[in-house]
């Protein structure tokens, strides 16, 4: 049984669908990875962003100073990372992790030493296991000792930004008779198998006729099962060997369409024609792509070749020559990102010598929309030259790398920034696109790393303060925002509570945090309308006189912009109730109180009931009217 699809292994929130659905979400792709190589997953289906005004694109230089970068890819797990393969510096090739939006170096993920140093040798390929999130396996293709090696490494158990160099396990190797045409591309297909492009072994004109020889694994596309080692040959391979298809000269960059599973192959020609080959996802394999019998659609050396009717010819070719001079194709990918939906389904490729970039569409029968993109993709800095590869990130956005040490991202030709939608951050969107779907645009150039799109708590501002009574009330400032009012203390992300006392008295309040140091402000009467209106700021426990006709607001945050949870505790000691006529304060109005009034008759006394300051007959009559009536 064939392995579970890579697409299903790398489950994300769904597959992008261009078109209008029943809600605003139909115009926007949530920040989840679009499934690699084939069918959509069974989970929810977030569709694609629609374009803003002006369906044009540009390129942005993301990184420079790299050592012969030959691939940009992603691991299917970390959305903000891209992996750049450096072919070699001396005899060491490296894989570096960069931030996908600003190009900053995150780490050197892996170094492979002892490589051959020919112009087409070194560290050439990288892919990640469909279950990389769980098993941590990655595969590299390199040449050393004039041999192509496909080697498995394992992610470090202690550092996800590094591979364990000691885990290297060679799973496949083939000797290379020459220093050129070493292939180098590897990736997992929609069937979960590992595909390896070997190249015809080099020299010129395939002197050993290896590409047409099914007894030789050079000049082929191989397909093996690495679910356990040593690898096995899938039962559905057409020749009962590792060979999946043949007649390839030197496929310099292939790519699976992550939506359809179709395989696109950019095969470098000999001295006249460059070609793009297409293998549909439902292919049973076995294609003969024609080399060395044919170069593109044109006869090259048909001696001993089968009939042309047994061969699969390119869907597109172009000739060498022209100005600028064309000589070597660099295959690319079908665009399946979200920031430029008008390009959905468009295949990108380039020429290494002329630095020209083109795109086209193919529906399985006909090519359409062939367009040169070179001028449109003129970068903001540097110059795209010696194009060595295209690449895809987690979201399906495209990149270009060149042997001059640069990596460029392809972007819509409009200012972009982070867009908050449905509590998630979608990077690199235009303001119009974000607004169109009901998102909240965070500003030009704003990175998702600097944004919190989670819904803030309901009591995030004073106007929506949660009612607190006497006793304990829990609080949590996670995902709260800063209310913005400046005080003598600092709150950062804060939440609000409103206390309405039931009687006049003395309020005892305290705020405690759970592994969190709260900062507390108290406001009286109304929510603040400006700065420096708190009556208390910075204390976590305090005593304050309150009356039942007023409201009191507690603002809880942290002076280090930390967030956390805790408890607000409030109690009120009521003021002593007045009891006119209770001269001895025992809560009763009785004969002892009458005797006290009589003793002070005609004189000032604290037991005055009527409030005129003198004990008179009116005070005695008032007491007698409430005689033996307990105080309330």
328-385 pLDDT, tens digit per residue, is 999 999 999 988 999 999 999 999 999 999 999 999 999 999 999 999 999 999 999 9
- Clarify whether residues 191 and 233 are in a common domain: yes
Per the structure, the count of domains in the chain is 4
pLDDT of the residue at 606? 82
- Clarify whether residues 400 and 429 are in a common domain: no
Predicted confidence band at 10 (pLDDT cuts at 50, 70, 90)?
Answer: very low
- Clarify whether residues 223 and 202 are in a common domain: yes
pLDDT in tens, 260-300: 999 999 999 999 999 999 999 999 999 999 999 999 999 99
539 vs 156: CA distance, rounded Å? 46
- Clarify whether residues 105 and 139 are in a common domain: yes
pLDDT of the residue at 54? 54
Q: What is the mean pLDDT of residues 3-30?
A: 32
Given a contact cutoff of 8 angstroms between Cβ atoms, the answer to whether 335 and 319 are in contact is: no
- Residue 384 in any domain: the answer is yes
What CATH number is associated with residue 589? 1.10.1330.10
- Clarify whether residues 300 and 430 are in a common domain: no
CA diameter of the chain: 140
Predicted confidence band at 37 (pLDDT cuts at 50, 70, 90)?
Answer: very low
Polymer length in residues for the chain: 632
- Residue 32 in any domain: the answer is no
Predicted confidence band at 146 (pLDDT cuts at 50, 70, 90)?
Answer: very high
- Clarify whether residues 563 and 613 are in a common domain: no
pLDDT in tens, 151-172: 999 999 999 999 999 999 999 9
- Clarify whether residues 425 and 304 are in a common domain: no
pLDDT of the residue at 132? 98
- Clarify whether residues 68 and 202 are in a common domain: yes
- Residue 34 in any domain: the answer is no
Phi-psi region of 161 (alpha: psi -120 to 50; beta: other; left: phi over 0): alpha
Share of the chain above pLDDT 90, in %: 73
pLDDT of the residue at 632? 66
Mean pLDDT of the chain: 89
Share of the chain above pLDDT 70, in %: 91
- Clarify whether residues 522 and 630 are in a common domain: no
Q: What is the CB neighbour count within 10 angstroms for residue 498?
A: 18
- Clarify whether residues 426 and 491 are in a common domain: no
- Residue 189 in any domain: the answer is yes
pLDDT in tens, 507-536: 999 999 998 999 999 999 999 999 999 999
Closest by Cα among 344, 191, 261 to 38: 261
- Clarify whether residues 483 and 611 are in a common domain: no
pLDDT of the residue at 49? 35
- Residue 28 in any domain: the answer is no
The model carries a pTM of: 0.67
- Clarify whether residues 422 and 530 are in a common domain: no
Pick the most confident of 22-36, 303-317, 586-600: 303-317
- Residue 530 in any domain: the answer is yes
pLDDT of the residue at 431? 83
Please give the residue range of the domain that contains residue 405.
Answer: 59-414
């Amino acid at each position: 049984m064939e392995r579970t699809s890579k697409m299903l292994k790398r489950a994300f929130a769904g597959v992008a669908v261009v078109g209008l659905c029943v809600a605003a979400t139909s115009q926007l792709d949530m920040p989840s990875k679009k499934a690699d190589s084939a069918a959509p997953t069974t989970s929810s289906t977030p569709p694609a962003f629609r374009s803003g005004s002006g369906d044009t694109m540009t390129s942005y230089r993301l990184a420079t100073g790299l050592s012969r970068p030959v691939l940009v890819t992603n691991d299917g797990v970390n959305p903000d990372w891209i992996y750049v393969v450096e072919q070699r510096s001396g005899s060491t090739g490296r894989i570096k992790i960069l931030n996908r939006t600003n190009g900053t170096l995150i780490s050197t993920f892996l170094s492979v030493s002892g490589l051959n140093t020919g112009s087409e040798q070194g560290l050439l390929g990288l892919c990640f296991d469909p279950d990389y999130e769980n098993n941590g396996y990655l595969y590299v293709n390199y040449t050393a000792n004039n041999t192509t090696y496909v080697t498995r490494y394992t992610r470090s158990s202690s550092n996800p930004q590094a591979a364990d160099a000691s885990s290297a396990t060679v799973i496949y190797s083939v000797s290379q008779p020459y220093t050129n045409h070493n292939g180098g591309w590897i990736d997992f297909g929609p069937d979960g198998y590992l595909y390896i492009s070997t190249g015809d072994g080099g020299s010129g004109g395939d002197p050993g006729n290896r590409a047409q020889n099914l007894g030789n694994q050079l000049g082929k596309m191989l397909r093996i099962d690495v679910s356990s080692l040593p690898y096995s040959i899938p039962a559905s391979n057409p020749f009962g060997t590792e060979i999946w298809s043949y007649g390839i000269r030197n496929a310099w960059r292939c790519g699976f369409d992550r939506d359809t599973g179709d395989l696109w192959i950019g095969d470098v020609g000999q001295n006249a024609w460059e070609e793009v080959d297409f293998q549909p996802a439902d292919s049973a394999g076995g294609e003969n792509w024609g080399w060395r019998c044919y170069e593109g659609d044109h006869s090259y050396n048909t001696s001993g070749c089968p009939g042309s009717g047994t061969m699969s010819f390119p869907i597109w070719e172009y000739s060498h020559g022209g100005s600028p001079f064309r000589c070597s194709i660099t295959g690319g990918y079908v665009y399946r990102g979200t920031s430029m939906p008008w390009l959905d389904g468009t295949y990108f490729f380039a020429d290494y010598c002329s630095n020209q970039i083109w795109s086209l569409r193919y529906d399985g029968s006909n090519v359409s929309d062939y367009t040169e993109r070179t001028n449109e993709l003129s970068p903001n800095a540097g110059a795209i030259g010696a194009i060595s590869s295209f690449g895809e990130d987690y979201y399906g956005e495209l990149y270009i790398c060149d042997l001059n040490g640069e990596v460029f991202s392809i972007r819509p030709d409009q200012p972009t920034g982070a867009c908050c939608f449905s509590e998630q951050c979608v990077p690199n969107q235009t303001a119009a696109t974000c607004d169109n779907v009901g998102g909240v645009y965070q500003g030009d150039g704003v990175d998702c790393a600097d944004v919190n799109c989670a819904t803030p708590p309901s009591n995030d501002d004073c106007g929506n303060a949660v009612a607190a009574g006497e006793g304990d009330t829990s609080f949590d400032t996670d995902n709260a925002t800063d209310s913005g009012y400046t005080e003598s203390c600092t709150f950062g992300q804060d939440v609000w509570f409103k206390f309405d006392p039931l009687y006049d008295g003395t309020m005892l309040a305290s705020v405690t945090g759970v592994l969190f140091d709260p900062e507390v402000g108290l406001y009286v009467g109304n929510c603040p309308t400006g700065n420096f209106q708190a009556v208390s700021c910075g204390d976590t426990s305090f005593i304050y006189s309150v009356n039942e006709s007023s409201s009191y607001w507690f603002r809880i945050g942290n002076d280090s912009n930390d967030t956390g949870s805790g408890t607000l505790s409030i109690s009120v000691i009521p003021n002593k109730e007045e009891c006119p006529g209770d001269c001895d304060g025992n809560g009763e109005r009785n004969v002892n109180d009458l005797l006290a009034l009589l003793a002070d008759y005609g004189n000032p006394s604290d037991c005055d009931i009527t409030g005129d300051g003198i004990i008179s007959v009116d005070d005695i009559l008032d007491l007698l009217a409430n005689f033996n009536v307990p105080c309330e």
